[in-house]
Amino acid sequence: MPGARQNSPEAPPVATTGALRVAILYAGFSGLWILLSDRGVEALTLQPATMTLLSILKGWVFVAVTAALLFVTVKRLVASVASREAKLQTLIHAIPDLVWLKSPEGIYLGCNRAFERMCGVREAELLGLTDHDLFSQEQADFFQQNDLEAIAAGTTRDSEEWVTQVETGHRIQLEVLKTPIHDASGTLIGVLGIGRDITEHRRLVAERIRLEARLSQAEKMEVVGRFAGGVAHDYNNMLTVILANADLALEKLDAVQSGRKHLQEIQRAARHSTDLTQQLLAFARQQPVAPRLVDLNEAVTGLLEVLGRLVGPDIHVVWIPGPDLWRVQVDPTQLDQVLTNLLVNARDAMGGPGRLDVATSNRTLLEADCADLADLVPGDHVCLSVTDSGCGMAPEVVARIFEPFFTTKAPGKGTGLGLAMVHSAVRQNHGAIRVESELGRGTCFKIFLPRALA
């Protein structure tokens, strides 16, 4: 550690002034006593023996009086210093933040109650110890490096440090201010540290940011949903006219006429567009059509054959039903749409042979399990998961996966509404959906639906 440093020393005026007052008081009293007492002795007697006796007596009186005055003065000074010291100690120990003082060599010189609780060591036991006596080698080196930087800078330095509370065993994040302390002559006497627990503050800030993002996403989804619903209705009306006129034109053409082929292409395109409008309408719908009590094991088992044909023979679908599954309140039609969209999305992600696991399970969620999903609340849920062995997704893709019209597929290969509709349907049924994905390791969609009490 660096040695003591000099900082433009200046003599403290308070101590000098106080000492000068005491000296002047003592000199004035002594001179006045000698002058008056000698005159008093001469006035009382002129006999040498008596004068000698009176001189000895006045000397003892002088000693007694000056001793009494010195006692009273020193007592007042000591009491004043002790009072200020007691107030300072009370103030320091009442501070909820951690406060400690170390010498330039890193030896602890003092601390407050909060620091004692954090380290599990009383101040009397802490004196003379270093960071290496209290913390791990890596953490102690980090703390001492911060001390060195504050000393080198000659001013307050701030940093963030993680420590483990001895009382609770919890790791907390501290915002730490470290200030080099100098005495009246400018000599460095130590480093003062003040640490504030910002763990909860940081958690609340992160929670606020997350909720603001969720609110923004919900508002955006609502606006897009209304817009999509309006467009879909108008578009569907035009498609009805197109299909009706194409049907009428086909009836008037013979099977061999050249124009018939073009009309059939118009029909196919119009019917495909009709399917798209149905997706838009499903996405825009705000309430479940007909929710009822459903056993997910029975519902998925009934769809397995259809889903198997949907994904094709190259993909092995593994069905893993959970035992004693709780029932849920859900719209069966929307459940079919959700499963269909998830399996089609998984099939496209694999792009060939692969494995697709569909599983159900009972889950009792705690607050910690719901931290990353605003729509999820603690309690009993049924989890429906769809896991594929596809290419996986990057984090920036996962963050946007449920946005309407967002797709990573080539132009013409996807509308970007499938997963948006899944998200909308799950929310309409008071559930939540979580995505776990990593590039090269596939993707898992987990749908949590509240347990039905009835």
Given a cut of 80, is residue 423 above it in pLDDT? Answer: yes
Query: Partners of 192 in the beta sheet?
Result: 101, 179
Element (H, E) at 365: strand 354-365
Given a cut of 70, is residue 289 above it in pLDDT? Answer: no
Strands (E), 254-353: 292-294, 315-320, 328-330
Contact 271, 291 (CB under 8 A): no
Greatest Cα-to-Cα distance within the chain, rounded to the nearest angstrom: 165
Given a cut of 90, is residue 58 above it in pLDDT? Answer: no
What rounded mean pLDDT belongs to the chain?
80
Q: Which residues contact 116 (CB under 8 A, 6 or more apart)?
A: 122, 123, 126
**Lowest-pLDDT range of 92-101, 172-181, 256-265, 344-353:** 256-265
Element (H, E) at 436: strand 432-437
How confident is the model over 133-167, as pLDDT tens digits? 888 888 888 888 989 999 998 888 888 888 877 77
Q: Find which of 22-31, 182-191, 417-426 is predicted with most confidence, using mean pLDDT.
A: 182-191
Contact 91, 137 (CB under 8 A): no
What percent of the chain stands above pLDDT 70? 84
Element (H, E) at 360: strand 354-365
Given a cut of 50, is residue 1 above it in pLDDT? Answer: no
Query: Taking Cα atoms as reference points, which of 129, 175, 181 lies closest to residue 150?
Result: 181
Q: pTM for the whole thing?
A: 0.47
pLDDT number for residue 31: 77
Strand pairing of 432-437 and 171-182?
A: unpaired
Q: Name the pLDDT band for 3 (thresholds 50, 70, 90).
A: very low
How confident is the model over 76-115, as pLDDT tens digits? 878 877 788 778 778 888 888 999 999 999 999 999 988 9
What is the pLDDT averaged over residues 355-371? Answer: 87
Cα separation, 102 vs 418, in Å, equals: 62
Given a cut of 80, is residue 439 above it in pLDDT? Answer: yes
- Specify the DSSP class assigned to residue 439: T
Given a cut of 60, is residue 440 above it in pLDDT? Answer: yes
Cα separation, 185 vs 182, in Å, equals: 8
Q: Which residues contact 117 (CB under 8 A, 6 or more apart)?
A: 165, 166, 167
Residue 384: phi and psi, rounded to 5, are -110, 115
Token pair, residue 319, equals 């069905």
- Specify the DSSP class assigned to residue 290: S
pLDDT number for residue 169: 75
Q: Name the pLDDT band for 2 (thresholds 50, 70, 90).
A: very low
Query: Partners of 381 in the beta sheet?
Result: 363, 450
SS3 305: helix
